[in-house]
Structure 1
Amino acid sequence: MSYDADATRNRIFEAASEEFAARGLAGARIERIAAGAKANKQAIYLYFGNKEALFGAVIRAKMDEVCHDGPLDANAVADTVGELFDWYQEHPELVRLLMWEALESCTPNAVAEDERREVYRGYACDMVTAGVGSCAPEGEARVRVAQDWLFTVLGLVAWNFAVPQLRRMVLEEADDKDALARRRAVVVETVRTLAAAE
C-alpha cells in the first residue's frame, strides 16, 4: 500500500482541529494530534512546521470554511444570519478556536490577520453597496458604519455559542435544542429589525 500524503495531511488537520478546540494552543500536544491522526510527529512538522503554524492553519481553514459556506448576503441579511447561526451550531469548534486565539495570542496580530481583515472589509463593502450606511457620507464613513453593523451581527450570533453556560442560566430552557431555536429566532428577528431601520 502506497503512502497517501494528502490523506495524512487531512487526518492531521482534523485531529489538530479537535485538539486545539478542546485544549487551545498551550494545552494541545503534538503527541495527541499524531495519535489521533494515526501519523507520526515528523509528518506534522513536515507538513505544517511547528505547533503554532499548525494552529494558524486550522484557524485560517475554519475561517475560510465559514466565509465560503455562509457568506453574509447584504441583500438578505436576516436570512443569511439564520444560516450563519446554523453553521455555528453545526461547527462550535470555530468559536472555541477564536476564543483560544484571543486568550493565548502571543503577538499583537492574530493568525493571517491581514487576509482575514480583507475578507471582512469585502463583506462591509458589499453591505454598503446594498444600502447599509446610507445615512453616512459616501466613502469610508459608510464602510465604517457597515463594519460596525457587521461586527454587531457577528456578535449576536457567536455569543450564543461562546458562553453556553450563560445561555442556560439566562434563558432557563430545560433543553439546549429549544434554547438555541429560541435564540436563532430572536437573532434573526433582531437583525431583520436593524436592517429595516437602516
Structure 2
Amino acid sequence: MTTPMPRARDAQATKALLLEAATDEFAECGLAGARIDRIAERAGANKRLLYVYFGDKNDLFDAVLAEQTRAVVAAASLDDGDLCAFAAARFDYMLANPRARRLATWRVLERSEPTALEREAFQTRVDAVASAQRAGRLRDDIAAVDLFAIVLRMTEGWLSASPGLLATAGDDPMSPARLAEHRAALLAAVRRVSEPAPGQG
C-alpha cells in the first residue's frame, strides 16, 4: 500500500518539519552520523516523504546548509562593506544559533567543495570589502579576501574557543557579562584591523 501524497499546504508544512528535524540531527551528528530514520521520527513524518521532497541524505544535508547560508547572510549583511557592523551581527547570530555553529564545523569536516550558493555568498562579501577599500572606508594594504577572512574568523574566536581557553575566563565563560565584554573587544579589534591605513588615498 502506497503512502498518499499530502496536499500542497500539508506538503509545505511537512517539508518544513523535516528540514527542521534534519537541522537538529545534522547539528548533533554530522552528515556521516545522521540517520534518516531518526530525522523522520523527529519530524513525525513518513520516511518516504523525506526522499520524495529532498532526495538522499546528501541532498538533505545540502538543503540544510543552503538554509543556514541564507539565514546567516540575511542576519549579517555586508552590502556597504561595514566590517564592524558585520562582525557584531554575525557574532550575535552565531551566539543565538548554536546549531549554526555546529553545522559550520561539520560542514568543514565533511565537505571539501563549496556549493554554488556558498561561493556566491562569499564572493559578494569579498566584493563589498573591495568596494569599501576603493572608497577609502577600509584599509587597502591587505587584500579584500584576506581582510574579510581575518574578520570572519575573529567573529568566531570566543564562540569556538577550546575549553582550556574558555576556562581562563572564570566559572562561566558564556555569562552575559563575559559575552558583552568579548563583543566589545571584538568590535574594537575589528575597527583597529580594518580602518584605513595611514596615508591611504
Query: For this structure pair, what is the TM-score category when the shorter chain's length is used for normalisation?
Result: 0.7 to 0.9
CA–CA distance in structure 2, aligned partners of residues 169 and 15 of structure 1: 32
RMSD: 2.0
Aligned letter for 1:119?
A
**In terms of mean alpha carbon deviation, does 40-49 or 64-73 score higher?**
64-73
Aligned letter for 2:28?
A
Q: What residue is the counterpart of 2:113 in the other structure?
A: 109
Find the partner of 1:168 among 160, 166, 171.
166
1:5/1:77 Cα in 2 relative to 1: closer, same or farther (>3 Å)?
Answer: same
Paired residue secondary structure (2:195)? helix
Query: Is the CA contact (8 Å cut-off) linking 1:30 and 1:51 kept in structure 2?
Result: yes
Q: What residue is the counterpart of 1:49 in the other structure?
A: 55
Report the CA distance between 1:197 and its aligned residue. 4.4
TM-score when normalising by structure 2? 0.83
Aligned letter for 1:179?
R
What fraction of aligned residue pairs are identical, expressed as a percent? Answer: 31
CA–CA distance in structure 2, aligned partners of residues 96 and 109 of structure 1: 18
Indicate whether 1:180 and 2:174 are aligned. Answer: no
1:149/1:195 Cα in 2 relative to 1: closer, same or farther (>3 Å)?
Answer: same
Find the partner of 1:153 among 148, 151, 154.
151
Find the partner of 1:69 among 70, 75, 83.
75
Aligned letter for 2:57?
K
Indicate whether 1:127 and 2:129 are aligned. Answer: yes
Indicate whether 1:5 and 2:4 are aligned. Answer: no
CA–CA distance in structure 2, aligned partners of residues 68 and 39 of structure 1: 29
1:52/1:88 Cα in 2 relative to 1: closer, same or farther (>3 Å)?
Answer: same
TM-score when normalising by structure 1? 0.84
Q: What residue is the counterpart of 1:195 in the other structure?
A: 194
**In terms of mean alpha carbon deviation, does 115-124 or 58-67 score higher?**
115-124
**In terms of mean alpha carbon deviation, does 119-128 or 160-169 score higher?**
160-169
1:38/1:80 Cα in 2 relative to 1: closer, same or farther (>3 Å)?
Answer: same
Aligned length: 185
**In terms of mean alpha carbon deviation, does 159-168 or 187-196 score higher?**
159-168
- Which structure carries more helix by proportion? 1
